[in-house]
Amino acid sequence: MAEQRTSIHGQWTSRTVFILAATGSAVGLGNIWKFPYIAGENGGGTFVLVYLLCIALIGVPIMMAEIMLGRRGKQSPINTMIALAKDENRNPGWVWLGWMGVIAGFLILSYYSVIAGWAMSYVFRTGGGMFIGVTADGVNSIFTDLVSDPERLLAWHTIFMVMTMTIVARGVKNGIEKAVTYLMPLLFGLLFIIVIYAMTTGYFMDGVRFLFTPGSIDGKGILIAMGHAFFTLSLGMGAIMVYGSYLSKDHSIVQASILIALADTVVALLAGMAIFPIVFANGLEPGAGPGLIFQTLPIAFGHMPGGTMVGVLFFTLLVFAAWTSAISLIEPAVAYLVENKGLSRIYASVWIGVLTWFVGLGTVFSFNIWKDHTLSIPYIFEDLSFFDTLDYLTANIMLPLGGLFIAIFAAWVMKEESTKDEMATHPLIYKVWHFLVKFITPLAVIVVFLKAIGAI
């Protein structure tokens, strides 16, 4: 039996708060900004189907495993893996799994902050009436002007990182809990309003058909769907593991994981149902890339009654959704510095925040002064910008690999008595989870990887 540990960082005051925090981590830019445009680029309905299967058969079982590891270790992902490997009398080299998660989260936050800055900028653009009566070409011009100006992007990137550091520095109860309590229900409400507007465009069924009608998808598209399942659930990046370390033994891991995944998936589908009808109604391209949400919703806000007010609220809540995700991305590295270097949370947050801000400069410049410079890795990707490189490596390589080894550690390395003790669920549910995490999940991840690189 492993020693009973207590997190030095505190504990969630209730299961509801944990679900809100983990949902805040999962529900963010990945659902509303990223999901619609990658679905548009990779076959629409078939991509969505593959994505949903990845959520059910891979994402949820791994989320349960990652929460379980975090709650059992009660420390940062790095120290949790050290402790659990010791508990199970396994090779201490498993610590690299914790390191990979922390690094992946750090890299994701470096570009996530820049995209969140776009949303912050659009709060003021919408409030100033810039989109009233605007055409599709006009919106495109506004977006292009924003991303081509490195100084403006740098300013918004800096503001967002300061906001994130401020919350994390305040700790679990006084910072993170208070930041996530009320924001997510409001985001759901605003999304429903945009979906209702999309129903009035005359193209709602076109959007629904695009989102749910099967199309063609290749191995790369399947890999992207799986990678996005990890990205949108915050798996493999240390966030769910460190949040799990603050979870009481009294709360059900299974119930929490299912609720988080359901909320996350509903937001992603609502975002697609809101955005694609507007795309088709205005003759835009559904595979328009990272700028899709910034080149579609403003058209709606510019033409709908009360659109300015709704637009301001939507982009504000999008910023808050990004904010709750960013907090979870920086928390694992901050927790590690507090545990191992004796730093206060304030100093640890500043150190990690500044380093993340610095790496984020590469993403800022990807859209302007570095836009003609690309990177390539043989057999993996070719001619990608700095931003696209980080996005591809983290979402499609590091997160699935992290999830794969989380599954292997939970099902093959840890003793069943350890996992049964921590999962504390019905024996049948445990058997289903253990089977998925032991066989189906690792096999699915490996097959998709081999398919993506052309090995099979």
Per-residue pLDDT of the chain (456 residues; tens, 9 = 90+): 455 677 787 787 778 888 888 888 887 777 877 788 788 788 788 888 889 988 988 889 999 999 999 999 999 999 999 999 999 999 999 999 999 999 999 999 999 999 999 999 999 999 999 999 888 889 889 999 999 999 999 999 999 999 999 988 887 666 777 777 777 777 778 788 888 888 988 889 988 888 888 878 887 788 788 878 877 787 888 889 998 998 888 888 999 899 989 888 888 888 888 888 888 887 777 766 666 778 777 887 888 777 888 889 888 878 888 888 898 899 999 999 999 988 899 999 999 999 999 999 999 999 999 888 887 776 666 778 899 889 888 877 788 888 889 999 999 999 999 999 999 889 999 999 999 999 988 888 787 666 655 565
What pLDDT is stored for residue 1 in this prediction? 47
3-state SS class at 393: helix
Spatial distance between the Cα atoms of 274 and 182, rounded to a whole number of angstroms: 22
Q: Is 90 exposed, middle or buried (0-12, 13-18, 19+ CB in 10 A)?
A: middle
pTM for this model (two decimals): 0.88
What pLDDT is stored for residue 310 in this prediction? 80
3-state SS class at 254: helix
Q: Is 99 exposed, middle or buried (0-12, 13-18, 19+ CB in 10 A)?
A: middle
Q: What is the DSSP letter of 282?
A: T
What pLDDT is stored for residue 122 in this prediction? 95
Strand pairing class (381-384; 375-377) = antiparallel
Domain map (residue ranges) of the chain: 15-452
Spatial distance between the Cα atoms of 172 and 189, rounded to a whole number of angstroms: 26
What pLDDT is stored for residue 445 in this prediction? 78
What pLDDT is stored for residue 401 in this prediction? 85
What pLDDT is stored for residue 21 in this prediction? 84
Which residues fall within 8 angstroms of residue 48, CB to CB, at 6 or more apart? 39, 211, 212, 269, 272
Q: Is 209 exposed, middle or buried (0-12, 13-18, 19+ CB in 10 A)?
A: middle
Domain 15-452 falls in which CATH fold?
Hydantoin permease (1.10.4160)
Spatial distance between the Cα atoms of 113 and 357, rounded to a whole number of angstroms: 8
Query: Residue 67: which region, alpha, beta or left (left: phi > 0; alpha: psi -120 to 50)?
Result: alpha
SS3 helix, strand, coil % of the chain, rounded to 5?
Answer: 75, 0, 25
What pLDDT is stored for residue 44 in this prediction? 82
Q: What is the DSSP letter of 249?
A: T
Q: Cα dist. 99→79, 131, 141, 336 in Å?
A: 9, 44, 41, 10
What pLDDT is stored for residue 313 in this prediction? 83
Q: Cα dist. 54→61, 393, 442 in Å?
A: 10, 19, 12
- Residue-wise burial string across 177-208, b where 16 or more C-beta atoms lie within 10 A, e elsewhere: bebbeebbeebeebbeebbebbbebebbebbb
Spatial distance between the Cα atoms of 237 and 215, rounded to a whole number of angstroms: 31
Nearest C-alpha neighbor of 231 from the set 259, 264, 273: 264
The amino acid at 172? V
- Dihedral pair phi/psi, residue 438, rounded to 5°: -85, -35
Query: Residue 202: which region, alpha, beta or left (left: phi > 0; alpha: psi -120 to 50)?
Result: left
